[in-house]
């Protein structure tokens, strides 16, 4: 295993100034005002014709990772393509189009990680991405939703019913494998993977091995981003922390940091420190649940129970410490809603230490269980090239040599003040992903100790006055990097809220690990990814 420092990019290294000069020289994209931190650079593209080549340059020459697409409908279309680099931070490419001409080139051929984002934008906004190989029937399933309603458009009336729950009897999935003897095995959407979420997998095969694996999500699409429009920021915060309970604190933190950037609010030092404590407590509990799922997938019932006990201990510790098992109601723009006493913190440290000891015993047991290792080693590998190409994030990416972690690359909440090791494996298989989870759990426990032992006196919250503007807030959620984009109007109401969740990106890359392996390996591979359908059904 390797740790910090993060491996250097194999491509050219640009700082913000040299990147701006290169992009302007080659593509005519001028730096634009924006980016409220030193980790961001914004560029306005002169016309759609340079979009694909600029994105290709950032990913394949400058070593950036594609991080998502943000679409806004204002006086014109605004499409914001986000990229992240270990050395230079964030790059925003902004392309504007007339509202009457919602057509632009697809970049999915050059940047494969953009595939699902373009399909999502086509379904929800009605944008047309020229030369994209497959649009439609994505978020809005053809069997249920009416064609062409574009629910994220400003003119869409969310108070009316726009779908029919009558299945189209002639609907058939799009199949690729056409060899003699080929068949498609449907799994789900009622799928028992340890959590009550709806997701369908179509596994195509000519024998026992999966040739093609396609996840189909959005059975519980809730329109969180649409509901947020016109709402006060405090009400939207409730949406941010509740669309995926497993990572509630991380997502509420990302939203709050975006609002804080807009209004220019400085969180007190003690508020930063306690945010670190709570974020790492959530990560520790999240990883315990993921490891529990891995043990369940391999039928190790004793180890599954062991991991479940760790998760339950951490949930109870969270409730005693913060008043809620999933850490709801703590974050607010400007800091935290409540403070914690030294006694509270000491009790939490005891619970964390107890869970860490149980974790260590479980890791030692699994490491010496040959039947367990046989199900994980060399199963479901994702190469570093594929992880970068598909923009994978979090433990899944770090198990495949892509060691970006937003706590290190673009520190927030004072993470730069702590010693933070970033576990990184190269094999990219199920066992590598498991090792990263255990290593990150140890790191989270250490960070909780560091933050508690360095707690300073003072307030935990500052005033966050209303101000119009837009900004991105980012956070390394337990499953990987997450970005929350918030645009506020003059009255403090949210005009646009956009969530770029880690599971959306990692679901897109699942097929790389699942294909060319037997059916019986699929549940194990899926468990090692630690995915959340709720992070997609937002």
- H or E element in which residue 293 lies: helix 269-297
Question: How far apart (Å, rounded) are the C-alpha atoms in residues 254 and 499?
Answer: 9
Q: Which two tokens stand for residue 146?
A: 């009416």
- H or E element in which residue 63 lies: none
The pLDDT assigned to 194 comes to 54
Residue 131 lies in a domain: yes
> Phi and psi (nearest 5°) for 140?
-95, 100
pLDDT, averaged in runs of 10, over the chain (538 residues): 38 76 88 72 92 93 92 94 89 93 92 93 92 85 75 82 62 74 76 68 84 87 91 94 92 96 93 97 96 92 94 96 94 95 95 95 92 91 92 95 91 92 93 96 96 95 90 95 94 93 93 88 91 88
Query: What is the sign, positive or negative, of the torsion defined by CA atoms of 301, 307, 311, 312?
Result: positive
Residue 234 lies in a domain: yes
Q: Do 132 and 242 sit in the same domain of this protein?
A: no
**Helix H segments across 76-217?**
115-125
Beta strands 480-488; 469-477: pairing state: antiparallel
Question: DSSP secondary structure string, 251-275?
Answer: HHHHHHHHHHHHHT----HHHHHHH
DSSP letter for 455, please.
Answer: P
Q: Do 261 and 158 sit in the same domain of this protein?
A: no
The pLDDT assigned to 168 comes to 67
* End-to-end CA gap in the chain: 35
* Among 138, 170, 202, residue at a domain's last position: 170
The pLDDT assigned to 35 comes to 62
Beta strands 103-105; 128-130: pairing state: parallel
Q: Do 124 and 242 sit in the same domain of this protein?
A: no
Q: Do 525 and 414 sit in the same domain of this protein?
A: yes
Q: Which two tokens stand for residue 75?
A: 């006086």
> Phi and psi (nearest 5°) for 79?
-115, 120
CA angle, 357 then 363 then 367, to 5°:
150
Residue 207 lies in a domain: no
Residue 432 lies in a domain: yes
Domain that holds residue 79: 1-170
CA distances from 35 to 181, 406, 430, 449 (A): 55, 16, 38, 33
Question: How far apart (Å, rounded) are the C-alpha atoms in residues 306 and 186?
Answer: 32
* Among 142, 170, 198, residue at a domain's last position: 170
Question: How far apart (Å, rounded) are the C-alpha atoms in residues 252 and 125?
Answer: 25
Residues 6+ apart with CB under 8 A from 42: 31, 32, 33, 34, 35, 92, 94
Radius of gyration of the chain (CA): 23
Question: How far apart (Å, rounded) are the C-alpha atoms in residues 538 and 243?
Answer: 6
Q: Do 236 and 365 sit in the same domain of this protein?
A: yes
Q: Do 145 and 272 sit in the same domain of this protein?
A: no
Residue for token digits 């694996």? 213
Q: Assign residue 38 the CATH number of its domain.
A: 3.30.460.80
Q: Do 370 and 259 sit in the same domain of this protein?
A: yes
CA distances from 509 to 60, 195, 215, 383 (A): 18, 20, 10, 11
pTM of the model: 0.93
The pLDDT assigned to 6 comes to 35
Q: Which two tokens stand for residue 449?
A: 């100790």
Number of separate domains in the chain: 2
Q: Do 166 and 260 sit in the same domain of this protein?
A: no
Residues 6+ apart with CB under 8 A from 58: 64, 66, 83, 91, 93
Residue 501 lies in a domain: yes
Residues 6+ apart with CB under 8 A from 157: none
Q: Do 160 and 245 sit in the same domain of this protein?
A: no
Residue 469 lies in a domain: yes
Helices (H) and strands (E) in the chain, counts: 16, 15
Beta strands in 166-310, from DSSP E residues, in sequence order: 183-187, 200-205, 210-216
3-state secondary structure of 500: strand
Cβ contact 82:33 at 8 Å? no
Q: Assign residue 271 the CATH number of its domain.
A: 1.10.645.10
> Phi and psi (nearest 5°) for 460?
-110, 0
The pLDDT assigned to 231 comes to 93
CA distances from 417 to 405, 407, 413 (A): 15, 11, 9
Q: Do 228 and 317 sit in the same domain of this protein?
A: yes
Cβ contact 293:527 at 8 Å? yes
Residue 180 lies in a domain: no
Q: Do 6 and 150 sit in the same domain of this protein?
A: yes
């Amino acid at each position: 295993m390797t740790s910090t420092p993060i491996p250097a990019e194999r491509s050219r290294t640009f700082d913000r100034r040299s990147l701006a000069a290169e992009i302007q020289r080659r593509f005519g994209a001028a730096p634009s005002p924006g980016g409220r931190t030193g980790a961001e650079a914004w560029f306005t593209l002169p016309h759609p014709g340079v979009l694909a080549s600029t994105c290709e340059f950032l990913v394949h020459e400058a070593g950036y990772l594609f991080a998502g697409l943000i679409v806004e409908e204002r006086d014109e279309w605004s499409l914001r393509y986000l990229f992240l680099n270990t050395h230079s931070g964030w790059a925003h490419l902004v392309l504007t189009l007339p509202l009457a001409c919602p057509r632009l080139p697809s970049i999915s051929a050059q940047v494969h990680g953009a595939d699902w984002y373009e399909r999502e934008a086509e379904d929800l906004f009605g944008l047309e991405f020229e030369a994209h190989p497959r649009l439609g029937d994505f978020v809005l399933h053809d069997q249920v939703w009416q064609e062409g309603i574009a629910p994220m458009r400003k003119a869409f009336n969310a108070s009316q019913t726009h779908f029919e729950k009558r299945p189209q009897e002639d609907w058939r999935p799009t199949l690729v494998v056409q060899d003699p003897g080929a068949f498609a095995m449907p799994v789900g959407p009622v799928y028992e993977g340890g959590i009550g979420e709806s997701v369908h997998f179509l596994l195509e095969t000519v024998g026992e091995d999966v040739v093609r694996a396609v996840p189909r999500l959005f059975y519980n699409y809730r329109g969180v981003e649409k509901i947020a429009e016109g709402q006060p920021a405090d009400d939207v915060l409730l949406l941010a922390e509740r669309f995926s309970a497993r990572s509630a604190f991380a997502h509420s933190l990302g939203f709050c940091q975006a609002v804080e950037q807009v209004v220019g609010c400085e969180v007190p030092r003690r508020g930063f420190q306690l945010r670190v404590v709570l974020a790492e407590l959530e990560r520790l509990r999240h990883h315990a649940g993921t490891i529990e799922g891995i043990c369940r997938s391999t039928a190790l019932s004793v180890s599954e129970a062991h991991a479940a006990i760790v998760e339950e201990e951490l949930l109870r510790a969270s409730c005693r410490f913060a008043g809620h098992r999933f850490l709801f109601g703590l974050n607010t723009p400007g800091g935290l809603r409540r403070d914690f006493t030294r006694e509270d913190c000491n009790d939490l440290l005891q619970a964390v230490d107890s869970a860490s000891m149980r974790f260590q015993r479980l890791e030692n047991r699994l490491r010496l269980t040959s039947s367990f290792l046989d199900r994980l080693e060399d199963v479901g590998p994702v190469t570093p090239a594929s992880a970068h190409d598909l923009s994978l994030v979090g433990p899944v990416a770090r198990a495949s040599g892509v060691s970006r972690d937003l706590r290190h690359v673009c520190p927030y909440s004072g993470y730069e003040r702590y010693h933070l090791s970033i576990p990184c494996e190269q094999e990219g298989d199920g066992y590598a992903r498991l090792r990263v989870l255990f290593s990150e759990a140890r790191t989270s426990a250490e960070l909780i100790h560091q933050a508690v032992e360095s707690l300073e006196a003072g307030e935990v919250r500052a005033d966050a006055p209303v101000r119009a503007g837009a900004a991105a807030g980012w956070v390394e959620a337990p499953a990987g990097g997450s970005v929350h984009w918030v645009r506020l109007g003059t009255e403090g109401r949210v005009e646009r809220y956009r969530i770029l969740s880690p599971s959306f990106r990692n679901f897109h890359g699942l097929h790389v690990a699942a294909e060319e392996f037997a059916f019986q390996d699929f549940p194990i591979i899926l468990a090692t990814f630690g995915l959340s359908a709720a992070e997609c059904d937002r």
